[in-house]
Amino acid sequence: MNYQTGVVRSDEATDPPNSDQKATTFQLISWAFFDWANSAFATVVQTFIFAAYFTNRVAASETSGTMQWGNTLSIAGIIVALIGPVLGALADQGGRRKPWIAVFTVLCVISMASLWFVKPSSSYLRLALILVALGTVTSECAMIFYNSMLPAMVKPDNMGRWSGWGWSLGYAGGLMCLVFCLFAFVKTENPWFFLDNDSAQNVRAAFVFAAAWHMLFVLPLLLFTPDTRSTGKSLFRALRDGLQQLRDSIRRIRRYSNIVRFLIARMIYIDGLATVFAFGGIYAAGTFDMNAQQVLIFGIALNVTAGLGAAGFGWIDDRIGPKHTILISLAGLIISGTAILLVHSTALFWTFGLILGVFVGPVQASSRSFLGRIAPEHLRSQMFGLYALSGKATSFIGPLMVGWITAWTCSQRIGMSATIVLFFIGAILMLAVSTSREKVSG
């Protein structure tokens, strides 16, 4: 049934079972705890502890390690971009999301825990990169199914706050897991369980703990959050029908032109955000002469403000709509980001950096709620698969721009201005996106 016109289309599948049965507050909190759980991989492995351990103690040199790390994450991103839409279409045809979340979560947890076997030697380099790639792909794939559950569980006028609260829990969970790992294992002379520092057992134990953290806090979603009923199709038939659904959607792309415009806009401004994450620490160290510990503290503080921003703007999203929330957040990122590039005082860098963090969470959370509102019900998972693609397909552009401009001008400040350009282009493109669900006729 068409959302606005009431026209039944021959190519449209039935709406997901139970799509009109909204979840209770407890069930929604259980859903949101997936963000809390999943962020352990991004924070402990991708961003802070394992990334530093790999480049400093596993790779042959810091320079080669940085290149290999970047290449591995890029390859993993390409894999997610390629398989994400297929997995989403498969879920639309199969009905259920939670079994897929469980499978990809278990694979991610296994890859995290297996990092224990990566000892501080270059002979373990290949194992390290394979496990990180596996964890990245499975973590991102689980997010596709997790994101697509939200629209069926809440009314549209509550979607913004729950998306924001989920993102906020993600920042809080990742931060708490990181802090615990630092003080219990990494940054102490007497790590828990009498682990040996010389063979990096204290550092490697942090990955096992993060894996356990991830698995433990996914359980509320798997146990208590409602799922749509199975369509009864076999895996083979669901895959076949899902591929056909994806082909039909691509062939009739004009029907979903508004979603395409949104995904292109998001692709640009998320590129800017990813570049800030990738080069923020490098900029702080190079331009403001901050040491590794200061950069770590700044990163933790940035996560705090991002979490607070995501939680607070969730209410604003429901009140003024996700499109306006995204545009306000992009304006905040442009203004605070420009200030960071102009100031020379470390105190002002901290001030505007933390202000920038306030707008990081909302632009991500409201992007999720926006797609949840405009995506056709029978194509939700597929659209969130394309959403994953839009976050990965051009993720190399921002870093390349920053690297080239910095090399050409010999200035980190000018190089980082590329992120402001990406935010600005994304905002301009977002202005052309409608807030209405697609009108699709037969």
- 442 within domain boundaries: no
Highest mean pLDDT among 17-26, 284-293, 381-390, 413-422: 413-422
Quickly state the pLDDT bin for 18 (edges 50, 70, 90): very low
Strands, DSSP E only, in 125-266?
A: none
Quickly state the pLDDT bin for 111 (edges 50, 70, 90): very high
Residue 338 sits in which domain range? Answer: 25-431
Which pLDDT score, from 0 to 100, does residue 396 have?
Answer: 67
Number of structural domains (the chain) is 1
Close Cβ partners of 72 (under 8 Å, ≥ 6 residues apart): 129, 132, 133
Which range, of 25-34, 175-184, 365-374, 397-406, averages the lowest pLDDT?
Answer: 397-406
- 20 within domain boundaries: no
Average pLDDT value for residue range 312-322: 87
319 C-beta neighbours (distance < 10 Å), count: 13
- 441 within domain boundaries: no
Give the CA distances from residue 224 to residues 21, 104, 216, 350, 351, in Å, rounded to whole numbers and listed in that order: 15, 18, 14, 41, 41
- 350 within domain boundaries: yes
Q: CA torsion, points 199, 200, 205, 210, in degrees to nearest 10?
A: -150
Q: Is pLDDT at 183 greater than 80 in this prediction?
A: yes
Which pLDDT score, from 0 to 100, does residue 253 have?
Answer: 66
Q: CA torsion, points 306, 312, 313, 316, in degrees to nearest 10?
A: -170
- 4 within domain boundaries: no
Which pLDDT score, from 0 to 100, does residue 155 have?
Answer: 82
Which pLDDT score, from 0 to 100, does residue 5 have?
Answer: 33
Report the predicted TM-score, pTM, of the whole model to 2 decimal places: 0.79
Quickly state the pLDDT bin for 426 (edges 50, 70, 90): very high
For the domain that residue 109 is a member of, what is the CATH number? 1.20.1250.20
Which pLDDT score, from 0 to 100, does residue 394 have?
Answer: 67
- 19 within domain boundaries: no
Which pLDDT score, from 0 to 100, does residue 20 have?
Answer: 45
Q: Is pLDDT at 8 greater than 70 in this prediction?
A: no
- 326 within domain boundaries: yes
Which pLDDT score, from 0 to 100, does residue 255 have?
Answer: 74
